[in-house]
Amino acid sequence: MTSHDTAGPLSADNTPAAVGGTDLTNPASLLARAVLHLHEGNPAEAERCYDACIVADPDGAVAWGGKARCRLAVADYASATEFAVAALARAIDAPEYGRLLMETAARAGDLELLGLAAKRQVRLFPEERDAVAFRQLVPETLLTPADEDGDALEAIEHVLRTVRDRRPRRYGQLLQCLLARRPRSILEIGVFDGRNGADMIHAGGRTPAGTRALRYIGFDLFEEMTAEVHKKEFSKYPLSRLEVGAALSAFNDNHLLVQGYTQDSLKAFGAAWDGAVSPVDFVFIDGGHSEETIESDWNNVAPLMSERTVVIFDDCYLDKVAALDGLGCNSLVGRLAEDPRYLVEYLPIRDCFEKEFGTLTIVVVKVRLRPSFI
């Protein structure tokens, strides 16, 4: 397993790890070392340096752009596009990150995103269209004006701003992944108030037409939430299914909200699922926070995965204290990281909250099938 398989400056016990003797508190030193590693043909070590920079400053466009370059170097073009989105979101008016997004989208074979990125670039920087590199990268047909261009480009700007401004910060990483990968469907476990679902649909759909058509399936207890379950699962009280559905209907015509315990409802969904008709390309697991429930959700989701599927777990706790015993995805994703079937990444942004027991630091974890096991 190469180090980019479990990306992020995290050691086995989920604490900050030294990066080649470099001072993790010195971003300039880290960036210089990352550039050197990449020049020397060691993108995995370069990415560890960039991740350490992002831990220190999630809004550093240079580090996100560096991560994109690292993934280009290992031909992980979808992830490269994801991190190019992150860089552009942090430097929205910088032409170099618009170019980077065009490059990664082209390498990923994503003509829709390449066309949107190119039209955006020309709108902001008209002189770019005459550049040799631009003409070599962008087929002229992708620049043909369309009536929907204005709305489509405004939708992209909205997603970029949301990636940058989303709080808690770690959730912006879901949106950059969705914009980069454009899933055919999103499955969310733990809908709560529907805000995250709405953001994900907008990001995954990209344009107003895509947003309206994108398939979204959300699982939650909704009205069945009880005080006992709330306490056991370290959870939140969701809005009603009717309230969430009404909010989603304003911009999406293809959603399904499933009420009940996922040990039953998700299992039934999987049993009736037809991957050829309704592929599951993106899953966000953020329902009950007990280890037992998270493991059950994973066991029901794993059989639905394909080569395109990305599963993201919330609630990986970097400060495991007695108050968190039996909670979080730490144990499960630790085992998945040792399983040769999966690629596991600890995404770099950290959210910290002060609780009665001390500081709670949370990251999200991305899991994909390793290509050799597809």
The model's pLDDT over 210-237, given as tens digits with 9 standing for 90+, comes to: 999 999 999 999 987 656 655 554 566 6
For residue 14, what are the contacts with CB-CB under 8 A and spacing of at least 6? Answer: 316, 317, 318, 320, 330, 346
Q: How far apart are the first and last CA of the chain?
A: 17
Is the model's pLDDT at 180 over the cut of 60? yes
Confidence of residue 123 (pLDDT cuts 50, 70, 90): very high
Mean pLDDT of 333-353: 98
The H or E element that residue 360 is part of is strand 358-369
- pLDDT interval class at 6 (50, 70, 90): very low
The share of the chain scoring above pLDDT 70, in percent, equals 89
Q: Is pLDDT at 274 greater than 90 in this prediction? A: no
Q: What is the CATH number of domain 182-373?
A: 3.40.50.150
Within this chain, domains 3-152 and 182-373 share the same CATH topology? no
- In the chain, what are the domain boundaries? 3-152, 182-373
How would you class 15 by CB atoms within 10 Å of its CB: exposed for 0-12, middle for 13-18, buried for 19 or more?
exposed
Cis peptide before 43 (omega within 30 of 0): no
At residue 18 the predicted structure's pLDDT band, cuts being 50, 70 and 90, is very low
Q: Please give the pLDDT value at position 121.
A: 99
Task: Give the pLDDT of residue 231.
Answer: 56
- pLDDT, residue 275, reads 79
Q: pLDDT (tens digit, 9 = 90+) per residue, 287-333?
A: 999 999 999 999 999 999 999 999 999 999 998 889 999 999 999 99
Query: Does residue 8 surpass a pLDDT of 80?
Result: no
CATH number corresponding to 3-152: 1.25.40.10
Half-sphere exposure of 168 (CA within 13 A, CB side): 14
Which DSSP string corresponds to 195-217? HHHHHHHHHHH-SHHHHHH-EEE
Cα–Cα distance, 82 to 68 (Å, whole number): 8
Taking all residues of the chain, what is their mean pLDDT, rounded to a whole number? 92
| Residue 20 predicted with pLDDT over 70 | no
For the ranges 88-102, 156-170, 237-251, the lowest mean pLDDT is seen at: 237-251
**Cα–Cα distance, 192 to 3 (Å, whole number):** 34
Look at residue 322 in the predicted model and tell me its pLDDT.
92
Q: Report the run of H or E that residue 365 belongs to, with start and end.
A: strand 358-369
- 324 burial class (0-12, 13-18, 19+ CB within 10 angstroms)? middle
